Structure 1
């Protein structure tokens, strides 16, 4: 994907993704080190790596969990404690981050500062620059109205390709198509290209029951993290009042007065975020939530476990 986007494709950073803004985020990256990868994470849902032998450094031991590789049992600690323990290893290999970006029509919504789609792109760009600075390859796969892939690349070229692709996808939005999250995760599993980390950025509206198994499958090959993007109206009940809404070119006005009306309205709007967040918690995955007013860089730094030094 060519990172050069036409002037018409460079949005305002509010309702449309701005490529210049995504590129400018690079200036905020100092010395970055991503959290170490373990061959078997302590969290449930993260499976063994299958990369053994050279390049594996011992990290720690913990109580045996169902599915652990018996070849990695810590026999000394097991003998001392009387309970089975498994060794965890840090993988010494080139890192690779694959970003899964939700481009469904539900992302083109926002009542504070910017659309969810713009905030998602900003977060993805921040992750790409962090990965680049940490020496990892980075790529992005879109799901929803766009179903394209930018294969992971190293250095500034990889991060610029991610930024350019997101600006192009946003500027040339096609008629919306619903792609269940489970289908997107299955597709991601086929195009991992050696990715050691996967970052899912979504508002959760495409989350379906089958996504749980797909996340478990994906977790066998990479460490999976989630960033749930939401609008303020999807997080807390709105104040009483009249709310003009527009969808597919049609405008309407919603009257919300009683506490019950406002609560029901918020629960309907926030159903996707709640569903995806609960799924992440049940699987023990790293998960964070941001609204459209938040600093995307701070959210990504906390989620990927980055450490930043002086510029």
Structure 2
């Protein structure tokens, strides 16, 4: 009799329905472990006037005060109004914005509602996003997000406070159902093109996705965004996507069954295809100063973020 693997099997009484579709209560409870999570500042630092290194990409600065010009000050920061009024050169001083927007883009396309082990990829994305949102709120950062599927893309701008986090969590729960209208290629590309319009310069941006059907246009959008934001690509995948089991296996979503009988040649081609997709993402991140975080559906969300959000530094 053929061995069986079922994506729907993670909803058994032993594992819980929340591994398929988390509830609002599940995501709210993550506020406690999130207290032990620190979101590292960006790894790429921007050069400011006076040769100081900023921990923020983009301007990330707000006006502080005006003082008399001193030798070595950047002439581009001269305050011409005060200079004209006093007859003596004055320069503007800026300070770093200690808060920053945290923007969370969550892929809810149909392929994300899948797992053979652990939890659904969509459930993993929701938990990771919830943990980061709670951590950002604890550190006084603003929280905003984007949830996209084949049917639509919904964005909301970063805001302060408990209410902003709850709004994100509620949308993660309400939108957690496959929507097949549209194509996966177009929906991912459209979501990534829209990202720079909503994630302001200096933002910390996380994209949670399996990155299936990533196009050249989508890569270009991520590249543009990385110039002004600290960008983290969280690559979520099921162990089955890494390696195809040999022999006959039956897979089910609870409504339909698919019988798969793979030989060694098919398995090798399948594994090479996954490695190519993963290396493409790694290379994209490496070339544009993004962080790349691989995450299996069997991983513990908090530990993945704890390891990936440790501070690291690079020379400007």
Common fold: TM-score over 0.5 = yes
Mapping of residues 154-193 of structure 1, within 5 Å: 154-171=160-177, 173=179, 175=181, 177-178=183-184, 179-193=186-200
**Distance in 2 between residues matched to 1:129 and 1:262, nearest whole Å:** 41
> Number of aligned pairs?
264
Which of 235, 246, 249 is the equivalent residue of 1:228? Answer: 235
Specify which of 25, 36, 58 is matched with residue 20 of structure 1: 25
Distance in 2 between residues matched to 1:277 and 1:268, nearest whole Å: 14
Runs (5+) with no aligned partner, structure 1: 1-10, 56-70, 72-88
Q: Deviations along 1:166-190, whole A, 9 cap, x unmatched? A: 1000147463543354432221111
Match of residue 122 from structure 1: 127
Higher gyration radius (CA): 2
Which residue is equivalent to 1:79?
none
1:225–1:30 CA distance, 2 compared to 1 (3 A): same
Residue 302 of structure 1, CA deviation: 3.0
Q: Give the conservation status (yes or no) of the 8 Å contact 1:37–1:91.
A: no
Structure-2-length-normalised TM-score:
0.71
Cα distance between partner residues in 2 of 1:150 and 1:50:
22
Please give the TM-score of this superposition, normalised by the length of structure 1.
Answer: 0.73
Q: How much does 1:53 deviate?
A: 7.0
Alignment of 1:1-311 (within 5 A): 12-30=17-35, 32-37=37-42, 40=45, 49-51=58-60, 54=63, 91-145=96-150, 146-171=152-177, 173=179, 175=181, 177-178=183-184, 179-193=186-200, 196-235=203-242, 237-246=243-252, 250-258=256-264, 260-268=265-273, 272-305=277-310
**CA offsets, 1:242-270, max 9 Å, x none?**
22134795422111242x22222334466
Task: State the distance in 1 between where 2:190 and 2:169 align.
Answer: 24
**Cα distance, 1:281 vs structure 2:** 2.6
- Superposition RMSD on alpha carbons, in Å? 3.5
SS of residue matched to 1:21: helix
**Structure 1 residues 18, 275: CA separation in 2 closer, same or farther (over 3 Å shift)?**
farther
Q: Which moved more, 1:262-271 or 1:90-99?
A: 262-271
- Structure 2: tracts of 5 or more residues without a match: 1-15, 48-54, 65-75, 77-93
> Are residues 270 and 165 of structure 1, via their aligned partners in 2, closer, same or farther at CA, if it must alter by over 3 Å?
farther
Segment of structure 1 superposing worse, 153-162 or 240-249:
240-249
CA contact (8 A) 2:62 2:96 kept: no
Q: Please list the CA deviations of residues 103-154 of structure 1 after superposition, one character each: whole Å capped at 9, or x if unmatched.
A: 1111111100211111111111111111111111111101223411233222
What SS does the aligned partner of 1:13 have?
helix
